[in-house]
Amino acid sequence: MNICVVGTGYVGLVTGAVFADLGNEVLCVDNQPDKIAALQAGRMPIYEPGLEEMVARNVADGRLRFTTDLAAAVKRSHIVFITVATPAGSDGQTDLTAVEQVARGIGQAMERHTVIVNKSTVPVGTGEFVRDVIERHQAKPVPFDVVSNPEFLREGSAIEDTLRPDRIVIGAANQQVAMTLLELYAPLERPMIITDVPSAEMIKYASNAFLAAKISFVNAIANICEQAGADVGQVTKGMGLDARIGPAFLQAGLGFGGSCFPKDTESLVHTAAVLGYDFRLLKAVVVVNRERVALFVGTIRKTLDPLDDKILAVLGLAFKPNTDDIREAKSIEVIERLLALGARIRAYDPVAVANAKKVLPPTVIYCDSPYEAAAGADGLVLVTEWNEFKFLNLERVRGLMRRPVVFDGRNAWEPERMRRLGFEYYSIGRKPVSPA
Ligand code: NAD
């Protein structure tokens, strides 16, 4: 099938590569000429495990190509996926500028029946909005359908998630158009659910909001554990064994970040308000999340007081492991708060340094290894739980530090082990420990 994917970011590039891998002819479009030039030259604009190989294979086989020419791409495609960014606007409202631009371009270029698929995360009602924009900009009245097909991939395992999603949601106005998408996804042999368009749009927000609620709930429990002398790790283990609850998304930490949960929760609060419902439950989820970093930095401050000129090694800048994405990463807020308190920062991340440099203050020093970051530090702050940090040579780290204090924002290490290794160790929702 001839497919066009508009917006070549984390979702669009992975979607395009996977559809090409399934044997379709895919044209990926972006309005950033640099990005397209890089992709045409075989350079990936993002880090995602397995992506480079999959893109290279399909480019070599002639099934995957890149262009900035939206009109030409629309004219040769049966299905056009919209996968552009939908960032937060004011008051949590979703900014649909890019979606609108693309819809306009599709309308102007369309010459025959086309299925337009909203894969970007968009508020309920956007399917109708896209239909309206296309209709108003059509050069000639060509029939078309607008489908909602929300994406659930996770950065860091995007290829795997796209090949083996838990479910594929297809929101369509009629069976016939739903069949087009069913056929496209059939080779994946995964569960598919067909709904109307607004329900599909809601499934995405309801899912993200629910997962965010799980995270904030556990973090609130962690706050109580800290006061009560309980261990949140043991508590969540006990909770997670209940089949009705399950162990996923029960890790206490610095809260949710990234390009999806923060904006999607606020967007749903906003949508609810517009529709006349005050979503107090979800508002509380957002508030609990916002408090996480302040509490964590409070512990660092109290322990090392004063922070003036103290050197802190920060491990992990990406918003989560296995990605270079630092959008809404907790590292940014942690580092900015620590700098404001006078600390000096030596940071390390396996892949996110280039992106971090674009947003963090120039005073941050970037290191080539966790050991280089720890050398001479008055404290080590773990922000992102990359696997390589879990397997650090902690004895070596302790030997390098000026003062062996560790602040673990993700509960990556065991308190008892840290105590035996000679660290003063602070984590989330667990008792602090001092060296044996
Ligand atoms: P992204 O910022 O990585 O990529 C978006 C791409 O769209 C960029 O390359 C940008 O240059 C391009 N673009 C913007 N305006 C354009 C236009 N007018 N014409 C052509 N290209 C344009 O974003 P992303 O992370 O891939 O997210 C895309 C959508 O998918 C968002 O709605 C997001 O909420 C949703 N989503 C993201 C994830 C994720 O983990 N990143 C997961 C599920 C859903």
DSSP-assigned states of every residue in 40-98: HTT--SS--TTHHHHHHHHHHTTSEEEES-HHHHHHT-SEEEE-----B-GGG-B--HH
Reading phi first (left if > 0) and then psi (alpha if -120 to 50, else beta), residue 403 is in: beta
Best of 30, 152, 208 for a ligand 1 pocket test (most atoms within 8 Å of beta carbon)? 30
pLDDT one-digit tens code per residue, 309-341: 999 999 999 999 999 999 999 999 999 999 999
Q: Is residue 98 within 6 Å of ligand 1 at its C-beta?
A: yes
Pocket test for ligand 1, best of 74, 122, 151, 159 (most atoms within 8 A of CB): 151
* pLDDT on residue 144: 98
Residue-averaged pLDDT of the chain: 97
**pLDDT tens, residue by residue, 36-68:** 999 999 999 999 999 999 999 999 999 999 999
Average pLDDT on 61-88 reads 97
CA dihedral of residues 207, 208, 211, 213 (deg, nearest 10): -110
User: How many Å apart are CA 185 and CA 179, to the nearest integer?
Assistant: 10
Q: Hunting for tokens 């162990």 — which residue is that?
A: 247
Rg of the chain over Cα atoms, rounded to whole angstroms, equals 24
Indicate the SS3 state at residue 321.
coil
Query: Separation of 282 CA from ligand 1 center, angstroms?
Result: 24
Residue 436 clears pLDDT 80, i.e. is over it: no
Mean pLDDT of 165-189: 97
Atom of ligand 1 nearest to the CA of 119: 30
Are 426 and 303 a contacting pair, CB within 8 Å?
yes
Phi, psi of 5 (to 5 degrees): -120, 120
Among candidate residues 4, 28, 260, 367, the one labeled active-site is 260
Q: Ligand 1 mean position to 83 CA, how many Å?
A: 5
Q: Which pLDDT score, from 0 to 100, does residue 330 have?
A: 98
- Where do the domains of the chain lie? 2-195, 196-436
Determine if ligand 1 sits within 6 Å of the CB of residue 350.
no
Q: Residue 178's pLDDT is what?
A: 97
CA distances from 58 to 72, 102, 250 (A): 20, 25, 38
pLDDT band at 373 (very low <50, low <70, confident <90, very high): very high
E-only strand ranges, 144-277 = 144-148, 168-171, 192-195
CA distance 187 to 135: 33
Per residue in 89-129, pLDDT (tens digit) is: 989 999 999 999 999 999 999 999 999 999 999 999 999 99
Ligand 1 centroid to residue 10 C-alpha, Å = 7
Omega before residue 306 within 30° of 0, cis: yes
The Cα–Cα gap between 377 and 314 comes to 10
CA 30 / ligand 1 centre spacing (Å): 10
- Cα of 325 vs centre of ligand 1, distance in Å, is 12
Helix axes 126-137, 197-228, angle to 10 degrees: 140
Q: What is the model's pLDDT at position 208?
A: 98
Report whether residue 105 contacts ligand 1, using a CB cutoff of 6 Å. Answer: no
Q: Is 80 close to ligand 1, i.e. is its CB under 6 Å away?
A: no
Count of CB atoms situated within 10 Å of the CB of 360: 22
pLDDT at 349 over 80: yes
Q: What is the pLDDT of residues 399-432, one digit of tens each?
A: 999 999 999 999 999 999 999 999 999 999 999 9
Residue 260 annotated in active site:
yes
Let me know: does 213 contact 256? Beta carbons within 8 Å.
no
CA distances from 302 to 55, 220, 407 (A): 49, 21, 12
pLDDT of residue 119: 98
Ligand 1 nearest atom to the CA of residue 263, by list position: 34
Q: Is the CB of 120 under 6 A from ligand 1?
A: yes
- The rounded distance, in Å, linking the Cα atoms of 371 and 195 is 52
- pLDDT of 226 over the 80 cut: yes
Q: Whose CA is nearest to atom 4 of ligand 1?
A: 9
Angstrom CA distances, 295 to 125, 130, 302, 333, stand at 38, 42, 11, 12
What is the reported pLDDT for 90? 86
Fold of 2-195: Rossmann fold (3.40.50)
High-pLDDT (> 70) share of the chain, % = 100
Residues 237 and 97: their CA atoms lie apart, in Å, by 43
**Does the beta carbon of 204 lie inside 6 Å of ligand 1?**
no
Establish whether domains 2-195 and 196-436 are of one fold.
Answer: yes
The arithmetic mean of pLDDT across residues 158-180, rounded, is 97
Q: Atom 18 (ligand 1): residue with closest C-alpha?
A: 98
- CATH class belonging to 196-436: alpha beta
Residue 237 reports pLDDT greater than 80: yes
Find tokens 């970051």 and name the residue: 373
Work out whether the CA dihedral 334, 339, 340, 342 comes out positive or negative: positive
Using the mean position of ligand 1's atoms as its centre, give its distance from the Cα of residue 86 in Å: 7
